[in-house]
């Protein structure tokens, strides 16, 4: 059959996955299955029904009234290597098909989480780089050279494709290494952080978040350091102790984010299951600022997540990295992933589960010094033209979780222990009330089991092949006679309007009621009813406040009943407050004593128009600097329309003057010494001449006395003597010049790095 051939399989997998989860009656259960033998790959199986008598050897009982963690979703990382392959080797049509197969819940596997590196990793097609690289031995404390230009080549364009399909993707960002100049080792590949630069590192995060958000990519969460206990000289890594991370979060990162008005969640630790002391140190010392702990799979046991949860129950857990290896087998990797990630991590309180690369090539690359046998969700074979796309085990593994939407709660269900050869499972209830049950048979033979829906003690029976997974979904709310609308999306189109769209209820003749709140997780009520009686599946909410996040739910209403709410959707209206920002280029002066210029750009926002007065000042200089540079800037700058305007900052490092002592007081020690010396000389000359010769030298003596007297009178008159000598110019080193702009009550500033050689 076609589905046994990889090429045909990828063409058909989107259609198979699109039917994975859909609203159905309470007595009918939808089934999607993947077998360890690959005879079924996200295959739609015949539905089953509640109401059957128990017939299995094992019963899974689901009790939705007991809830655990709320889910953010499932995903992977769009590494530099992944984005490079997608952008450079796939045709536009192939790119669109792949993005849909990954991020659409109706046409693919519905990924909702992305973990994005800040700079290079072991999977970077551009080698080692950060967002602020400097020549060896140089620093950039004010981050004047910060730039995400390398991400703009293909990473951000590919991310934008993903967001176009699913605008509700949640993005976590973190560095594998900060810029090399921030480290004691002076290299991105291994070594310790130089704690002196913690303030700069905090601003590095602020600038990263702002730069990505300016590209339309919101940042949901950040972590201070990837795998802080792993320092390798072969690819970007860093040692960052628990005490360092705690201090950084409390003293630098948290305040910097707050001052910038940014509110991403902060994940602590970001490393393996084999260490619980590090994450507990973070929670104990920085608990007021962190959302919880993020975990990796490469050492230890998934139960570590529950150990930390028990010790610190008010924090969340996120599972953020694991990778399949080409040395494994399909059924082995499917089973391990089900037991430890999809089922294991979520049963141990993970709010999300993500693997490593989205895509790698047929050689497990491009690599940058790390893993040489990893695979992604898909393999892009670049050895043929056009390149082909082949789904891997990870694609099918995570496809079995499609239908667990963001906002779902894990609910109570019983499960066999990991690796015990039994039936393992995890259950979720979505915001619209629909249920998802994921089951894996760890046994060596097919197993028949019952599923008991505790609220009405109803059962269905299913037989699952050995080392295989199945996902069951049903909607209890549909038993009331009205199915809920699904796939609600919210899109902000201006500062005062958000457009809504949803998939219609399957109940004939249903109309729709829309509820809105500025608080997430709200419950529909008459107090937040926006409108009702709608017959269509779109709505424009107008007259909204700018810069505000609105949350929405939709219910279907029929003659028999009102459905459960849809999934929650949200959007943030644009900010319209007029404002402006400044940016400027760095200055390097190659010759001491010369002048240099920088272009200062004034960028309007929120419809700002008007005149901006600019000033400049030297705000930082090298220790011991004597002759300091001076600055001037052309001002004012006029803004009209949405275009930026430019001004010129000029820095002068020409020589200053050096002054001698100013002889202004007769009581100054220099003068006192001079006067005494002159008197002594006069006395010697006067009395040292023989008496008999004095009359012959009377004229000389008188002249000498008159000269001494006039010099002493000149000293007593308070006169001064000043000389000037040219210096070599401004002291060499790195300076910081701050340019400030003002327009009425609005102000903005930027720093300019000045290097004098």
Catalytic residues: 227, 321
Instruction: Tell me if 48 sits within 8 A of 29, measured CB to CB.
Output: yes
For 754, the token pair is 């000045």
H-helix or E-strand spanning residue 492 = strand 486-492
Spatial distance between the Cα atoms of 400 and 16, rounded to a whole number of angstroms: 12
For 5, the token pair is 């051939």
**Residues 6 or more apart in contact with residue 5 via CB below 8 angstroms:** none
For 428, the token pair is 């979720």
Other C-beta atoms lying within 10 Å of the C-beta of residue 200: 22
Spatial distance between the Cα atoms of 367 and 434, rounded to a whole number of angstroms: 42
Q: How far is CA 576 from CA 213, 488, 546, 550, 560, in A?
A: 16, 26, 6, 16, 45
Nearest to 651 by CA among 718, 730, 540, 720: 730
For 692, the token pair is 């008999």
Is residue 544 classed as helix, strand or coil in its secondary structure?
Answer: coil
Instruction: Tell me if 452 sits within 8 A of 59, measured CB to CB.
Output: yes
Number of H helices, E strands in the chain: 14, 42
Instruction: Tell me if 486 sits within 8 A of 416, measured CB to CB.
Output: no
Q: Reply yes or no: is the peptide bond before residue 366 cis, omega within 30 of 0.
A: yes
For 451, the token pair is 């599923």
**Residues 6 or more apart in contact with residue 348 via CB below 8 angstroms:** 302, 303, 305, 306, 309, 317
Q: List the Cα angle 579/583/586 in 5-degree steps.
A: 170
Instruction: Tell me if 267 sits within 8 A of 289, measured CB to CB.
Output: no
Backbone angles phi and psi of 707, in degrees to 5: -65, -45
Instruction: Tell me if 222 sits within 8 A of 263, measured CB to CB.
Output: no
Tell me whether residue 540 is exposed, middle or buried, using C-beta atoms within 10 angstroms of its C-beta: 0 to 12, 13 to 18, 19 or more.
exposed
Q: Reply yes or no: is the peptide bond before residue 636 cis, omega within 30 of 0.
A: yes
Residue written as token pair 């909410």: 541
Nearest to 73 by CA among 278, 342, 327: 342
Spatial distance between the Cα atoms of 403 and 748, rounded to a whole number of angstroms: 46
DSSP characters for 571-614?
Answer: EEPPP---EEEEEE--EEESSTT-EEEEEEEEEEETT--EEEEE
Nearest to 321 by CA among 301, 304, 306, 341: 341
Q: List the Cα angle 603/605/608 in 5-degree steps.
A: 95
Residue written as token pair 């080409």: 326
Q: Reply yes or no: is the peptide bond before residue 55 cis, omega within 30 of 0.
A: no
Other C-beta atoms lying within 10 Å of the C-beta of residue 619: 13
DSSP characters for 445-483?
Answer: S-EEEEEEETTTTEEEEEEE-TTEEEEEEE-GGGGGT-P
Backbone CA torsion sign across 722, 727, 731, 735: positive
Q: CA neighbours within 13 Å on the CB side: how many for 7?
A: 5
Spatial distance between the Cα atoms of 258 and 69, rounded to a whole number of angstroms: 27
- Dihedral angle, C-alpha 83, 86, 92, 97, nearest 10 °: -110
């Amino acid at each position: 059959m076609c589905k046994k051939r990889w090429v045909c399989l990828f063409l058909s997998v989107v259609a198979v996955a699109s039917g994975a989860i859909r609203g159905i009656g309470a007595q009918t259960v939808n089934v999607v299955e993947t077998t360890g033998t690959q005879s079924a790959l996200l295959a739609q199986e015949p539905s089953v029904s509640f109401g059957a008598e128990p017939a299995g050897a094992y019963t899974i009982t689901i009790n939705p009234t007991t809830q655990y963690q709320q889910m953010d979703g499932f995903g992977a990382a769009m590494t530099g290597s992944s984005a490079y392959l997608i952008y450079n080797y796939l045709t536009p049509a192939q790119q669109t098909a792949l993005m849909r197969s990954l991020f659409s819940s109706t046409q693919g596997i519905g990924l909702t989480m992305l973990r994005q590196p800040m700079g290079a990793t072991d999977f970077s097609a551009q080698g080692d780089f950060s967002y602020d690289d400097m020549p060896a031995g140089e620093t950039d404390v004010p981050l004047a050279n910060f730039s995400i230009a390398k991400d703009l080549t293909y990473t951000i364009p590919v991310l934008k494709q993903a967001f176009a399909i699913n605008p509700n993707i949640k993005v976590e960002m973190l560095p594998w290494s900060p810029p090399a100049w921030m480290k004691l080792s002076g290299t991105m590949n291994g070594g310790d952080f130089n704690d002196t630069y913690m303030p700069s590192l905090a601003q590095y995060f602020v600038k990263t978040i702002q730069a990505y958000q300016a590209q339309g990519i919101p940042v949901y969460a950040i972590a201070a350091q990837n795998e802080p206990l792993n320092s390798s000289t072969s690819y970007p890594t860093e040692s960052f102790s628990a005490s360092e991370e705690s201090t950084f979060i409390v003293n630098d990162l948290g305040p910097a984010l707050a001052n910038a008005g940014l509110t991403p969640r902060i994940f602590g630790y970001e490393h393996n299951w084999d260490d619980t002391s590090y994450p507990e140190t973070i929670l104990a010392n920085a608990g007021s600022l962190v959302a919880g702990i993020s975990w990796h799979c490469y050492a230890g046991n998934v139960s570590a997540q529950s150990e930390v949860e028990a010790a610190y129950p008010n924090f969340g857990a996120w599972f953020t990295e694991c990778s399949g290896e080409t040395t494994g087998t399909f059924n082995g990797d499917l089973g391990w992933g089900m037991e430890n990630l999809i089922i294991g991590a979520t049963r141990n309180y993970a709010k999300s589960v993500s693997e490593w690369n989205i895509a790698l090539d047929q050689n497990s690359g491009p690599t940058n010094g790390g893993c040489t046998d990893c695979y992604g969700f898909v393999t892009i074979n670049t050895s043929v033209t056009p390149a082909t796309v082949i789904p891997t085990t990870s694609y099918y593994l995570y496809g079995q979780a499609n239908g667990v939407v963001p906002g779902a709660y894990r609910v109570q269900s019983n499960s066999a222990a990991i690796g015990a050869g039994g039936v393992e499972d995890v259950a979720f209830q979505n915001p619209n009330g629909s249920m998802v049950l994921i089951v894996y048979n760890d046994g060596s033979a097919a197993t028949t089991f019952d599923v008991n829906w505790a609220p009405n003690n109803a059962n269905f029976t299913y037989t699952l092949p050995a080392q295989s997974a199945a996902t069951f979904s049903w909607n209890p709310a549909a038993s009331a006679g009205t199915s809920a609308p699904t796939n609600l999306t919210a899109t902000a189109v201006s500062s005062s309007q958000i457009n809504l769209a949803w998939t219609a209820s399957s109940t004939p003749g249903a109309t729709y009621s829309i509820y809105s709140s500025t608080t997430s997780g709200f419950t529909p009520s008459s107090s937040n009813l926006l409108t009702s009686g709608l017959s269509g599946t779109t709505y424009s909410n107008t007259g909204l406040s700018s810069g505000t996040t609105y949350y929405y739910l939709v219910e279907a209403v029929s003659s028999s009943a009102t459905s459960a709410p849809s999934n929650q959707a949200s959007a943030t209206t644009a900010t319209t407050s007029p404002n402006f920002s400044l940016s400027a280029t760095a200055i390097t002066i190659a010759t001491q004593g010369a002048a240099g210029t920088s272009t200062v750009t004034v960028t309007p926002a929120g419809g700002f128009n008007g005149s901006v007065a600019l000033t400049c000042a030297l705000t930082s200089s090298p220790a011991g600097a004597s002759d300091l540079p001076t600055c001037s800037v052309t001002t004012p700058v006029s803004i009209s329309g949405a275009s930026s305007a430019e001004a010129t900052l000029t820095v002068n490092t020409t020589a200053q003057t050096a002054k001698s002592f100013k002889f202004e007081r007769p009581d100054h020690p220099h003068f006192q010494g001079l006067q005494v010396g002159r008197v002594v000389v006069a006395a010697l000359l006067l009395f040292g001449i023989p008496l008999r010769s004095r009359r012959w030298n009377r004229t000389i003596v008188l002249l000498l006395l008159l000269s001494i007297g006039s010099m002493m009178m000149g000293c007593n008159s308070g006169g001064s003597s000043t000389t000037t000598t040219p210096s070599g110019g401004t002291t060499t080193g790195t300076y910081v010049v701050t340019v400030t702009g003002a327009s009425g009550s609005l102000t903005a500033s930027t720093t300019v790095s000045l290097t004098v050689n």
